[in-house]
Amino acid sequence: MMNLKREGGWLALMVGLFVLFYFLPVEWARFGNAVTESLALTKWYAREHVLLCLVPAFFIAGAIAVFVSQASVMKYLGAGANKVLAYGVAATSGSVLAVCSCTILPLFAGIYRMGAGLGPASAFLYAGPAINVLAIILTARILGLELGVARAVGAIVFSVVIGLLMHVIYRNEEIAKVKAHAAMPAAPAERPLWQNVVYFGLLVGILVFANWGRPEEGSGLWWAIWSHKWLITAAAGVGLGVVLVRWFAVAWWKVALAVAVVAALAVAFPGSPTVAFVAAAVGLSAVALSGPQPMREWAGSTWEYAKLILPLLFIFNHQLLLIGIGSWFQLVLIVGAALIGMLIFVSVTQQIFVTRSRVWESAILLLAAAMLFQPGWFMDKLVPEYMAVAGSEVIERAEQVSENGFLRIEVSGADIITGVEETRVMRLPMGESGPGAERLAAVGMQIVPLGDEVQVLGAGFGSQAERLGIKAGQTISRVFVQDPASPANELTYLPALLLIGFVGALQWRRREWDQPGMTKDRHQPA
């Protein structure tokens, strides 16, 4: 017999998706531009961060959860460990990782789940991206030795302060965590420490050298490393394969097959090393999933971190970078809404809120999370935040933009190479206040009036305008200015919170019986 409640949830989801696509405003130029630009940004992020940074980091985090002794983590980073040792290790260990603020997340989750105290783990999370050797050297070379040293020292000091604050705020939970781990018997080590060091060193080597950036100078050690970074990465990968065969009892022919496929792709696509890199990640996953039990646990743990963290990295609100913030109250409101949105989004991925979520409840929570992350997108569909004026007003409107604000313009014209007519909406950073013509010239815009439009004569080499893709021959057809009558985007938070409260109230009513092994009459089955 069909379960009407369960199937009704699927039906509601399908109908909702149908209505969404049925009324999708694809004929709006503004909608098309927004979708194109968002997809272009997502493409850039997937290429530059997900493949080379996050995938190795997920494997490392999964390895920490499976192969690192919990007793070792508790000894050096636990809440009851020596504070000087714990915070010293946490605040400086990121110097050898060369990771970004995205890549550090799965590593933080890995050590925290293995028993690290919240304070040391938070210090590691804060300091890791800021004190890696490459970033410190680059800062010192561009901004001077003093600022390079100040960056390193400041990152370490602030990370320790933040870690101590987190420890104090959650001290009761940390004390309970220490007592719980103290009652657990220590698990015997499966392999010597030096073997684990070699294993993790190879994983970190793959992460670091695959992301080695091109130096400005065309000679020296850093240039030599960059020139041969894929050979070094491949050597680390081969070393990892040997380690898996010798110390982890993986069948040699599986590793050899994966290496052969990766080598063949590297030869076939010499100009696209990421193809071979992706094949290596897939091969490693296949080897782990078909290997002994510890290898399968490694693959499972890696997948859990990917499900938990990866979706959050594609959700972004530019106001979290203090862009367009008018007051401290607005900042607190936006940060608080983003925090709630992230928690709700994680509950959707884990399919549990107050209790287990049904399909339609997850859909409502996902909608609420999106409204908290991007309130402007939803409010703009009801009442547009910006109104369009003629492109000929660009100089006047540029002068009216606040200091370090943005000027939104619509640029039209045929692509020089393809000849295809393009229309894009972009934001020009205006910098310091001043006359509109001077502010436009400062970002590289060379323009001349042309009726109700403005023609672009050229974009300065290396300027903001050139980086945005503005080219000679294009026209500024419209300028978008903020409508003073438009309501605040933050009003979207109210229906989002109501949706969350609605789902929470429904789940609260059934929390007692909607558990594994319980029936609706609140009795365990016989």
Query: 3-state SS string over 142-183?
Result: HHCHHHHHHHHHHHHHHHHHHHHHHHHHCHHHHHHHHHHHHC
Residue with tokens 């946490």: 90
Instruction: Determine the Cα angle at 362 with ends 358 and 364, to 5°.
Output: 120
Burial class (CB in 10 A: 0-12, 13-18, 19+), 525: exposed
Strand partners, 426: 409
Q: By three-state DSSP, how is residue 453 classified?
A: strand
Residue 418 Cα to chain centre, angstroms: 33
Instruction: Please say if the pLDDT value at position 67 is more than 70.
Output: yes
Query: For residue 522, what pLDDT band results from cuts at 50, 70 and 90?
Result: very low
b/e per residue 167-188 (b: at least 16 CB within 10 A): beebeeebeebbeebeeeeeee
pLDDT at 32: 65
Query: For residue 501, what pLDDT band results from cuts at 50, 70 and 90?
Result: very high
H/E stretch holding 423: strand 421-429
What does pTM read for this prediction? 0.57
Q: Please tell me the distance from the alpha carbon of residue 440 to that of residue 462, in angstroms, as a whole number.
A: 15
Q: Please tell me the distance from the alpha carbon of residue 445 to that of residue 163, in angstroms, as a whole number.
A: 46
- Residue 498 · residue 416 · CB < 8 Å: no
Instruction: Please say if the pLDDT value at position 524 is more than 50.
Output: no
**Better-scored residue on pLDDT, 3 or 51:** 51
- Mean pLDDT computed over 345-365: 85
- Residue 213 · residue 117 · CB < 8 Å: no
H/E stretch holding 503: helix 493-509
Q: Both tokens of residue 430?
A: 């205006």
Q: What is the DSSP letter of 510?
A: T
**Better-scored residue on pLDDT, 275 or 308:** 275
Q: How far is CA 316 from CA 268, 319, 365, 384, 475, in A?
A: 37, 9, 18, 20, 30
Strand partners, 454: 449, 476
Q: Please tell me the distance from the alpha carbon of residue 502 to that of residue 365, in angstroms, as a whole number.
A: 10
Q: How far is CA 134 from CA 209, 229, 475, in A?
A: 11, 14, 41
Start-end of H helices in 323-480:
328-350, 359-373, 375-382, 394-400, 436-442, 464-467
Tell me the pLDDT tens digit for each residue of 358-410: 888 999 998 998 888 888 778 877 777 788 888 888 888 888 888 777 888 88
Instruction: Please say if the pLDDT value at position 502 is more than 90.
Output: yes
Q: Hey, what amino acid is at 287?
A: V
181: left (phi over 0), alpha (psi -120 to 50) or beta: alpha
Q: What φ, ψ does residue 276 adopt, rounded to 5°? A: -65, -35
Residue 321 Cα to chain centre, angstroms: 14
From the list 474, 473, 445, 448, the residue with the least C-alpha distance to 459 is 445
Q: Please tell me the distance from the alpha carbon of residue 75 to that of residue 89, in angstroms, as a whole number.
A: 12
Q: By three-state DSSP, how is residue 184 classified?
A: coil
3-state SS of 79-132?
CCCCHHHHHHHHHHHHHHCCCCCCCHHHHHHHHHHCCCCHHHHHHHHHHCCCCC
- Residue 203 · residue 67 · CB < 8 Å: no
Find the distance separating the first CA and the last CA of the chain, reported in whole Å.
22
Q: State the sign of the Cα–Cα–Cα–Cα dihedral 239, 244, 246, 252.
A: negative
Q: Please tell me the distance from the alpha carbon of residue 264 to that of residue 52, in angstroms, as a whole number.
A: 20
- Mean pLDDT computed over 50-65: 78
Residue with tokens 């609605």: 502
Tell me the pLDDT tens digit for each residue of 184-225: 555 555 677 788 889 888 988 888 888 777 776 777 887 888
Tell me the pLDDT tens digit for each residue of 100-135: 666 677 777 777 777 778 888 888 888 877 776 666
Tell me the pLDDT tens digit for each residue of 163-180: 888 888 888 877 777 676
Instruction: Please say if the pLDDT value at position 337 is more than 60.
Output: yes
Q: By three-state DSSP, how is residue 388 classified?
A: strand
pLDDT at 494: 93
